[in-house]
Structure 1
Amino acid sequence: MFDYISGKLVRCSLDSVTLEASGIGYRIMIAPNCQSQLPPTTSPLLLYVSFVIREFSQSLYGFQHEADRDLFETLLNVSGIGPKLALSIIGHMPSDTLQKTLFNKDITALCKIPGIGKKTAERLLLELKGVSICTVNSSQEYKEAVPSLVHDAVSALVNLGVTQINAYNAVSKTYSSLNEPKDLELLVTASLRNM
Structure 2
Amino acid sequence: MIGRLLGTVVDKQAPDLLIDVNGVGYEVQLPLTSFYELPEVGQTATVFTHFVVREDAQLLYGFNSKQERALFRLLIKANGVGPKLALTILSGLTAEQFVQCVEHDDVTTLVKLPGVGKKTAERLLIEMRDRIKELNMAPSALPANVAGTASPLIKSNGMDDAVSALVSLGYSPQQAQKSVKAVYSDGDDSEVVIRNALKSML
| Bigger-Rg structure (1/2) | 1
Shift of 1:122: 1.5
Gaps of 5+ in 1: 142-195
Counterpart check, 1:92 vs 2:101:
no
Q: Distance in 1 between matches of 2:118 and 2:18?
A: 35
Counterpart check, 1:70 vs 2:70:
yes
Question: Does the Cα contact within 8 Å between 2:97 and 2:139 map onto a contact in 1?
Answer: no
Counterpart check, 1:10 vs 2:10:
yes
Question: Does the Cα contact within 8 Å between 2:33 and 2:93 map onto a contact in 1?
Answer: no
Shift of 1:139: 4.9
Task: Summarize the Cα distance change of 1:59–1:140 in structure 2 as closer, same or farther, 3 Å threshold.
Answer: closer
Q: Which runs of 4+ in 1 moved over 4 A?
A: 138-141
Question: Does the Cα contact within 8 Å between 2:3 and 2:51 map onto a contact in 1?
Answer: no
Task: Summarize the Cα distance change of 1:93–1:133 in structure 2 as closer, same or farther, 3 Å threshold.
Answer: farther
AA of the residue aligned to 1:53: V
Question: Does the Cα contact within 8 Å between 1:47 and 1:62 map onto a contact in 2?
Answer: yes
Q: Distance in 1 between matches of 2:7 and 2:69?
A: 18
Q: Distance in 1 between matches of 2:135 and 2:93?
A: 13
Shift of 1:106: 1.6
Q: Which stretch shows the higher mean deviation, 72-81 or 94-103?
A: 94-103
Shift of 1:6: 0.4
Gaps of 5+ in 2: 141-202
Superposition pairs of residues 122-161 of structure 1, within 5 angstroms: 122-132=122-132, 135-136=135-136, 139=138
Q: Distance in 2 between matches of 1:13 and 1:115?
A: 22
Higher relative contact order (CA 8 A, sep 6+): 2
Q: TM-score, normalised by structure 2?
A: 0.64
Q: Distance in 1 between matches of 2:15 and 2:133?
A: 23
Q: TM-score, normalised by structure 1?
A: 0.66
Say what the alpha-carbon RMSD is for the aligned residues: 2.0
Q: Distance in 1 between matches of 2:111 and 2:99?
A: 15
Q: Which stretch shows the higher mean deviation, 30-39 or 60-69?
A: 30-39
Question: Does the Cα contact within 8 Å between 2:29 and 2:61 map onto a contact in 1?
Answer: yes
Question: Does the Cα contact within 8 Å between 2:99 and 2:139 map onto a contact in 1?
Answer: no
